[in-house]
Amino acid sequence: MLKKLEQLSILNLQDLLLHLPLRYENRTRITAIADALPGDHVVLKGQVVNTQIQFGRRRSLIATLRDETGQINLRFYYFGKTQQAQLELLPEIRCFGEIRRGATGLELYHPEYSKQLRQPLETTLTPVYPATEGISQKQIRKLVLQALTTLQQGDLLPDLISRSGQPVITDSLVHLHQPFANSDLNQLSEGLDPAQRALSFEELTAHQTGILFMREKLVQLPAAQFQKPSNLVDQFIKGLNFTLTQAQLRVAEEISQDLQKGSPTLRLLQGDVGSGKTVIAALAAVQASENGFQAALMVPTEILAEQHYLTLKTWLEPLNITIDWLSGSIKGNTRSQLLEDLSSGKLQIIVGTHALFQDQVIFHQLGLAIIDEQHRFGVHQRMALRDKGEKQGFMPHQLIMTATPIPRTLTMSLYGDMDCSIIDELPAGRTPITTRVIPGSRRTEIIDRLKQACASGAQAYWVCTLIESSETLSAEAAEDTAQQLEKALHPLVVGLVHGRMSGQQKAQIMEKFSAGEIQVLVATTVIEVGVDIANASFMVIENAERLGLTQLHQLRGRVGRGRAKSFCLLLYATPLGETSKQRLNVMRQSQDGFFIAEQDLMIRGPGDVLGDRQSGNVNFKIADLIRDQDMLDEAVALAQSIFSQDNTIAKALVQRWIGSVSDYGQV
């Protein structure tokens, strides 16, 4: 049983007590059969007046239960002759189950039943716990009951914090494992019971306290202390063919000030699609170079790595700053020479994919690590790149960039150990994107419209998202679509790019598209981030209902980068569910990345918004960032107070809810 409990993350009595019920059943009263309604979970008492085996698509045992108000059928799909004989012999039984509509009217499917009629009814609501194969609800309830006895007898979970008008932890846990019969089931199911709120508040406070420990740990580490930006940075800014926005200048100054400190920077840079984060990264890298340190920019895809490399090369080569790029597809002598230049210090700036954190990649003196589209990397991958600098005796500064705006609640809870900068202004000349939501049945009409747009000089993306989790099937859908569009759009040139192609193949296609040799680019979501083709002003996204809002917003951001009027058409398969309809309407109504991210958080929850790569981030046992966001500011204030006044309580809080400070993976 211990191994089964481990699968539920239950390793000790505290874990068991914090393993709260998913829902509750009311077995405290007997319901008359005449009063039972579909969907109700009820206790019924009566006499079995008939049993029969019914044959149909599935063989089942039907037992008719009667009380003084009426009768109802109990249906069992898994049964034996012994069970049928037993039911026939019982003069009266008590049973529990959910009322459903069945073939004979209202029925109970596989109810629990007992002949022990003298046994008293439950006095509290019956908890139903998260479970796993091999351990029953009855076993978990028995273990929890034993743990509650221990809790009430001693000082197993002392009160660490208090909140006005809320139960203390012992009272909260007893109530949540054994709620009174008259407890508000709606409140409990929504996590709004005062006892749940008390525990959620303590957990939020514990996580904020853990963040403060991480900050304290970070500032004690050594880092390269850069000098103020000087001639090289000035030359870089003067050489740009555009003017930096006020928001970019403000953010650049914030980062520059960080780099001048003797402790490692850990800053989150948020900027909506097209806000100009790349030039901010370049400014920081130039500051590192003029201080004699190397900079690394890690990005999630080869397409983005090469695009960033080409952009930065144009900006930095006139300053005599050496730059190159590395990906898994770069091999042989080219790779060997590049690694040698990096370890000797000849190469000052490197752009790369996850290949950057591999063992054979050795830096001469890494002073700045920049992670672009941080949500696409696992925490351990980011830490591996950081460790490249730590091996030199100090920590590199870290700049974490994202074009996926992160709602305030997530920023405070998951990135609270980072300083945060936001580019809240788009460069001049960006045109609004007209977004339309259209059924897939109008595909032919869309192709005609696309042909007209391209004939007028526009370029277009056609994004295939058949099955988001399967690159193979998405690629096949893209290949089929490319063939269909080639025929329908002749003589326009149609290109194809997807994740199963080699880095070199993808780069060649993107080069041709950038040069205008390809008018329509069929792609999977491999183009989601960073691709910047100013002339592309038309996008079609197939099966848009399959994607989350933030991903749709990222994809849409590939158009609207020039001065031409831009369009994004979201094609959906019918029938469209309510959630999908809600999501697509948000896209149609808004281009504000932060508003879209907030809506995505409300619709899908934090786990889905951040993606499964965020496994190193903290997980909440009880608190919910959406439901409990009204308590977050208070939790932050209390955490700061406890951290500054009582180190013992601060550590105990973190230990109770997180385990250890090191479970935070941001540093």
CATH number at residue 552: 3.40.50.300
Q: Enter the tokens of residue 35.
A: 């009063």
Among residues 293, 343, 346, the alpha carbon closest in space to that of 323 is found at 346
Three-class secondary structure assignment of 274-298: CCCHHHHHHHHHHHHHHCCCEEEEE
* Whole-angstrom distance, CA of residue 151 vs CA of residue 167: 15
Asked if residue 279 lies in contact with residue 244, where contact means CB atoms within 8 angstroms, the answer is yes
Of the residues 590, 614, 634, which one is the last residue of a structural domain? 590
Asked if residue 560 lies in contact with residue 274, where contact means CB atoms within 8 angstroms, the answer is yes
**Lowest mean pLDDT, pick from 18-27, 269-278, 468-477:** 468-477
Give the pLDDT of residue 615: 35
Q: What is the CA radius of gyration of the chain?
A: 31
- Residue-wise pLDDT for 429-460, tens only, equals 677 899 999 999 999 999 999 999 998 899 99
Phi and psi, residue 21, nearest 5°: -60, 150
Considering the domain architecture, whether residues 252 and 152 belong to the same structural domain is answered as no
> Is residue 644 assigned to a domain?
no
Give the pLDDT of residue 119: 84
Q: How confident is the model at residue 31 (pLDDT cuts 50, 70, 90)?
A: very high
Give the pLDDT of residue 354: 84
Considering the domain architecture, whether residues 441 and 559 belong to the same structural domain is answered as yes
Considering the domain architecture, whether residues 441 and 576 belong to the same structural domain is answered as yes
> Quick one: average pLDDT of 638-657?
92
Among residues 172, 124, 123, the alpha carbon closest in space to that of 151 is found at 172
> Quick one: average pLDDT of 27-54?
93
Q: Helix (H) and strand (E) counts for the chain?
A: 23, 21
Residue 152 CA from chain centroid, whole number: 38
Asked if residue 69 lies in contact with residue 34, where contact means CB atoms within 8 angstroms, the answer is yes
DSSP state for residue 431 in the 8-state scheme: P
Asked if residue 322 lies in contact with residue 348, where contact means CB atoms within 8 angstroms, the answer is yes
* Whole-angstrom distance, CA of residue 485 vs CA of residue 448: 10
In the block, tokens 């500051």 appear at 287
Asked if residue 415 lies in contact with residue 268, where contact means CB atoms within 8 angstroms, the answer is yes
Mean pLDDT of the chain: 86
Q: How confident is the model at residue 395 (pLDDT cuts 50, 70, 90)?
A: confident
> Is residue 49 assigned to a domain?
yes
> Is residue 222 assigned to a domain?
no
Considering the domain architecture, whether residues 501 and 555 belong to the same structural domain is answered as yes
Of the residues 80, 114, 148, which one is the last residue of a structural domain? 114
> Is residue 656 assigned to a domain?
no
Spatial neighbors of 198 by CB under 8 A, at least 6 apart, are 163, 166, 167, 168, 169, 172
Q: How confident is the model at residue 420 (pLDDT cuts 50, 70, 90)?
A: confident
> Is residue 388 assigned to a domain?
yes
Considering the domain architecture, whether residues 166 and 51 belong to the same structural domain is answered as no
> Is residue 215 assigned to a domain?
no
Residues facing 53 on adjacent strands: 61
Check which CATH number belongs to the domain holding 102 and give it. 2.40.50.140
Considering the domain architecture, whether residues 410 and 279 belong to the same structural domain is answered as yes
Considering the domain architecture, whether residues 9 and 33 belong to the same structural domain is answered as no
Considering the domain architecture, whether residues 379 and 280 belong to the same structural domain is answered as yes
Instruction: Report whether pLDDT(76) > 50.
Output: yes
Q: Could you give the strand order of the β-sheet that contains 294-298, starting from the edge strand earlier in sequence?
A: 323-326, 349-352, 294-298, 366-372, 397-402, 266-271, 419-423
Secondary structure of residue 620 in the 3-state scheme: coil
Give the pLDDT of residue 600: 79
* Whole-angstrom distance, CA of residue 200 vs CA of residue 625: 10
> Is residue 616 assigned to a domain?
no
Q: How confident is the model at residue 617 (pLDDT cuts 50, 70, 90)?
A: very low
Among residues 440, 434, 364, 365, the alpha carbon closest in space to that of 396 is found at 365
Instruction: Report whether pLDDT(539) > 80.
Output: yes
DSSP state for residue 69 in the 8-state scheme: T
> Is residue 335 assigned to a domain?
yes
Instruction: Report whether pLDDT(368) > 60.
Output: yes
Three-class secondary structure assignment of 177-240: HCCECCCCHHHHHHCCCHHHHHHHHHHHHHHHHHHHHHHHHHHCCCECCCCCCCHHHHHHHHHC
Considering the domain architecture, whether residues 326 and 444 belong to the same structural domain is answered as no
Q: How confident is the model at residue 649 (pLDDT cuts 50, 70, 90)?
A: very high
Considering the domain architecture, whether residues 332 and 478 belong to the same structural domain is answered as no
Considering the domain architecture, whether residues 439 and 382 belong to the same structural domain is answered as no
Query: Cα separations (Å) of 355 from 299, 328, 359, 534?
Result: 10, 6, 9, 29
Q: How confident is the model at residue 662 (pLDDT cuts 50, 70, 90)?
A: low
Considering the domain architecture, whether residues 391 and 373 belong to the same structural domain is answered as yes
- Domain residues for the domain of 66 are 29-114
Q: Enter the tokens of residue 547.
A: 């994607």
Asked if residue 14 lies in contact with residue 157, where contact means CB atoms within 8 angstroms, the answer is yes
- Residue-wise pLDDT for 473-495, tens only, equals 555 688 889 999 999 999 999 99
Secondary structure of residue 388 in the 3-state scheme: helix
Give the pLDDT of residue 530: 56
- Residue-wise pLDDT for 567-615, tens only, equals 999 999 888 888 889 889 999 998 888 788 778 777 766 554 444 334 3
Give the pLDDT of residue 264: 87
Of the residues 392, 423, 454, which one is the last residue of a structural domain? 423
State how many domains the chain has: 4
Q: Is 548 left (phi over 0), alpha (psi -120 to 50) or beta?
A: beta
